[in-house]
Amino acid sequence: MFDGYTSSELMSIFAMQGFAGLSLFSVFVLMALGLTIIFGQMGVINMAHGEFMILGAYTTYLTSGFFQSYLPGLFGGYFFVAMILAFFVCAALGALVEWLMIRHLYHRPLDTLLATWGLSLIMQQAYRSIFGAREVGVDLPEWMLGAFNVTDLVQLPINGLFVMIIALSIAVGLYLLMYRSGYGKKVRAVVQNRPMAEAVGINSAGIDRATFALGCGIAGVAGAAFTMIGSTGPSSGQAYIVDTFLVVVFGGAQSLIGTIVSAFGISQAQSTMEFFLSGSMAKVLTLLVVIGILMLRPEGLMALKVRR
């Protein structure tokens, strides 16, 4: 496995693969955070999560087009505008969906699964009608394209670093929101004991809507970030959803910290194995390990103690 490499090369390999794993980690974190808080808070499995991400990606695509046509001088900074827009567009649609559909289906988790799956099909078809079946690419400003050279072999792509910073900021922001703010306290109260929370005057319906919108908004930001590394097409969201569920379930579906730990574990394992084995083999081995651990800990790595 290690033969054919000198020891200095091996050092570089582990450094490079560690960094590749970190990029993958930030991708996983971005994908999974929105899903985790919606599931953790409301028990709703949002099958349309991938489509919300793609909505964020299309928002970025439109924003970049707008800047290119009307504000070419500011093109270098369009991405920040796009991320904020993506958040609000997705959050607004999320709130609408919660009001129209999800709130009627609480206490029927299997039905929310079906309903959001239907929603994902509708959204996919809408993208196809509006943007066409072809995948679109988003142009990046010059400053995002290069890489920092650490050594001859170890290079850190700027867009990879950028995705990492976004993921980290969102994770920290969410942590502060959930554990250091009044809103977070209410959310946690509702999760632990809904009737009791309502009894002390918390508007649990409002909390639900805000949380669903927040989860969708984060998906939108994730989508915006992914335009830097991948493509955007009507069905691209499907490509992410399986990995996202894997991360969420492995981490313990209701735990923010668990999600992050699980994303880290899976990404590093996969990245290191990918180098020495083939890509498909690494994926299979990762899945096997995850299944093995889930057999020992069915609740996931970091299950929340919930009063039922």
Partner 1 sequence: MLATSAQAATPSTAEVNTTGLAVTDDTVTVGILHSITGTMAISEIGSVQAEKLAIDQINAAGGVLGRQIDFVQEDGASDWPTFAEKSRKLLRQDNVAAIFGAWTSASRKAVLPVMEQYNGMLYYPTFYEGLEQSPNVVYTGQEATQQILASLNWAAETKGAKSFYLLGSDYIWPRTSNKIARKHIEDKLGLKVSGEEYYPLGHTQFNSVINKIKLRKPDVIFASVVGGSNVAFYKQMKAAGIDFTDEKPLLLTISVTEDEIRGIGGENVDGIYASMKYFQSLDNANNKEFVAAFKEAYGDDMVIGDVTQAAYLGPWLWKAAVEKAGSFDIDKIREEFAGIEFKKAPEGYVRIHENHHLWSKTRIGQAQLNGQYKVVYETEELMEPDPFPEGYQ
Q: Which residues bind partner 1 (CB under 8 A)?
A: 5, 9, 12-13, 16-17, 19-20, 23-24, 27, 133-137, 139, 145-147, 149, 153, 155, 157-160, 226, 228-231, 233, 235-236, 238-239, 271, 274-275, 278-280, 283
- Which is nearer to partner 1, 136 or 301 (by Cβ)? 136
CA 13 to chain centre: 27
Residues paired with 148 in a beta bridge: 156
Give 208 or 274: the residue with its C-beta nearer to partner 1: 274
In the complex, least distance from residue 155 CB atom to partner 1, rounded to whole angstroms: 5
Distance in Å, CB of 225 to partner 1, minimum: 12
Smallest distance from partner 1 to CB 178, Å: 28
- Distances in Å between the alpha carbon of 72 and those of 142, 159, 176, 192? 13, 21, 36, 50
Angle between helix axes 158-180 and 7-42 (nearest 10 degrees) is: 40
Q: Which is nearer to partner 1, 37 or 55 (CB)?
A: 55
Return the H-helix or E-strand segment holding 148: strand 147-149
Q: How far is the CB of 280 from partner 1 (least distance, A)?
A: 6
To partner 1, the closest distance from the beta carbon of 217 in angstroms equals 22
**Helix and strand numbers, DSSP H then E, in the chain:** 11, 2
Closest to partner 1 by CB, 114 vs 239, is 239
Half-sphere exposure of 93 (CA within 13 A, CB side): 23
| DSSP code, position 254 | T
Nearer to partner 1, 77 or 146 (CB): 146
> Which residues make Cβ contacts (< 8 Å) with residue 157, sequence separation at least 6?
23, 146, 147
